[in-house]
Amino acid sequence: MTGAADEPFITAVKPLIDAMGGVMLPPDEAGPDDVVLSWEGVDVVAVRLPQLADSLDHILAAMERKRGMPLADLDRRAKQEIVRSLEARGAFAVRHGVETVAGALGVSRFTVYNYLNREKEG
């Protein structure tokens, strides 16, 4: 997929691709929905992005890893911070986003909506 000259580029973009839940492929294996990244005029890597719903699961799993515990075990304030962060990232525009987040946080959909509404009011 890469030559030695491309290694710094791959190293630079890998954390972003991982954070999005993407997969790197050789550029010649790119499909019509993949994004081909070029470096100095040469196609270096193709990125296959996940479906939006899969991205949300990936984001939630990354948040759990970062906090070192299941999101459901967080206190109310921390859960509200998670909801604010996810709203800023567009998580609730994804079909079943509220349900997915509620499940990960161990709260009801109603509670997630309350967290969202509280943020808008305050």
Overall average pLDDT of the 56-71 stretch:
91
Output phi, psi for 73, to 5 deg: -85, -5
Q: In whole angstroms, how far apart are CA 1 and each of 28, 30, 46?
A: 9, 12, 9
Residue 102 pLDDT > 90: yes
Q: From the CB of residue 112, how many other CB atoms can be counted at a distance below 10 Å?
A: 26
Q: pLDDT of 12-59, one tens digit each?
A: 999 988 877 889 999 999 999 899 999 889 999 999 987 766 788 888
Strands (E), the chain: 23-25, 35-39, 42-48
Q: What is the mean pLDDT of the chain?
A: 88
For tokens 């010649």, the residue is 28
What integer pLDDT is reported at residue 65 of this predicted model? 92
What integer pLDDT is reported at residue 3 of this predicted model? 56
